[in-house]
Amino acid sequence: MQGRPDSRPALRRCTALDPDEFAERYWSRRPLLTRAEETGASFADLLDLAAVDELLSRRGLRTPFLRIAKDGAVVDPKRFTTSGGAGAEIADQVSSDAVLRLFADGSTVVLQGLHRLWPPLIEFADQLAADLGHPTQVNAYVTPPSSRGFSPHYDVHDVFVLQVAGEKHWRIHEPVLPDPLRTQPWTDRAAAVAAAAAEREPVIDAVLRPGDALYLPRGHLHSAVALGGISAHLTVGVHPVTRWAAAESALDLVRELAAEDPSLRRSLPLGLDLADPAAVAGDVAAVVAALRGWLDRVDPADVADRLRARTWAQVRPQPVAPLAQATAAAALTADTVLRLRPRLRCRLREPVDGRVTLVAGRRSLELPAEARPAVAGLLAAGELKVVDLPGLDAADQLTLARRLVTESIAVVPDAVVPDPTAGHDGTRDRAPGS
């Protein structure tokens, strides 16, 4: 798959490199600057300034989907939110006129969570997550001329910066803390970050123009200043699955297993003086020894399964159309085509006590064991007619198919909501007297 020209299209678009080359030379190692002539010249199909105006003015945007910053500081949301008016009295809706005033005064507009809001970016972020195997998010930074939105800082996730409009001058420096975790934000090292940005030579000092892309591994220091007119770029955050995440999963499992140890549930002595470390030294030593023993009993496969569950819970498959799919589920026939929901991570477990579990994203679905061959067949093929689901009779095929659709495991391609004004022959009913 990796060697095919059409593989990992979103990653190729961000880097203009073969995925294997990017993985070997850049991923989590060093920054990469890619110019527009290599990426395909534009990211305007993902977001443009007109789309930004639409989001700010007509989409009922609320906090925290919008953040505003000026001179490196975040603006109080109360300065740009208000009630939506009659019938929409939610107090934290974005006020477009307040945003106008702040932006004209030099503030940077940050649209957050666009991988949940804007259709082109929903698709792009989902595809990039599939390409990378790591969860993604998308924010947009829109900066007025000659303004800096945030002071030098680092992120605790990798980022792809995609310039969509205007120009922005970026300065990138080596990390003060390589591979920081979510619990190690740059604000904990603000002095070291400021000193490094001021005193060290940048590893990249460049102006990004529309169509340019920049990859930054987590921890790399960065800051940017808009040049000339309005500048807008997308920041695609990549939340890497780390060895520390595996360690957390192992510790969670140890915590559950060790709770079954009677010796660890025992109360400490009456009249205990915790101010004296020696008073608990023996008990603490016993606890550490017991936990070490429980850690030795942890099955790496169980840890890997927990790590999978944590990661899959962060990745959203392609959205479904609830009304269209419900209509299709009610009208299934033997010739209906079922398609596995795009970008849904699935795992089918072996039957236990006459039941089989299908793990699908953040959810698990219990099914009769006899349904396993049919589900396995759909997972393997990606698309099957109901009549081709193996191992079941016609009635059970329809029952399973209907459940897979209503549980959003499979979808009926091209399903549509029927027009309630249409007649039985597909023509529109005419109003009485017409």
Q: Tokens at residue 178, please?
A: 């390589």
358 forms beta bridges with: 348, 365
3-class secondary structure for the chain?
Answer: CCCCCCCCHHHHHHHCCCHHHHHHHCCCCCCEEECHHHHCCCCCCCCCHHHHHHHHHHCCCECCCEEEEECCEECCHHHCEECCCCCCCCCCEECHHHHHHHHHCCCEEEECCHHHCCHHHHHHHHHHHHHHCCCEEEEEEEECCCCECCCCECCCCEEEEEEEEEEEEEEEECCCCCCCCCCCCHHHHHHHHHHHHHHCCCCEEEEECCCCEEEECCCCEEEEEEEEEEEEEEEEEECCCCHHHHHHHHHHHHHHHHCCCHHHHCCCCCCCCCCCHHHCHHHHHHHHHHHHHHHHCCCHHHHHHHHHHHHHCCCCCCCCCHHHHHHHHHCCCCCCEEEECCCCCEEECCCECCEEEEEECCEEEEEEHHHHHHHHHHHHHCEEEHHHCCCCCHHHHHHHHHHHHHCCCEECCCCCCCCCCECCCCCECCCCCC
Model pLDDT, residue 149: 61
Where do the domains of the chain lie, and which CATH numbers do they carry?
Answer: 9-238 (2.60.120.650), 243-308 (no CATH), 322-411 (3.90.930.40)
pLDDT digits (tens, 9 = 90+) for 300-310: 999 998 998 88
Position 423 scores a pLDDT of 58
As averages over each run of 10 residues, the pLDDT of the chain (434 residues) reads 61 95 97 94 93 92 91 87 76 91 93 94 92 94 81 95 95 97 96 96 96 97 91 96 95 94 92 89 94 93 90 84 96 97 89 92 91 96 97 97 97 87 57 46
Bridge partners of residue 236, in order along the sequence: 138, 160
Q: Which pLDDT score is estimated for 198?
A: 95
Statement: the pTM of the whole predicted model exceeds 0.85 = no
Report the pLDDT value the prediction gives residue 179, as an integer from 0 to 100.
97
Give the model's pLDDT for residue 231: 94
Chain-centroid distance of CA 80 in Å reads: 27
pLDDT at residue 254, rounded to an integer: 95
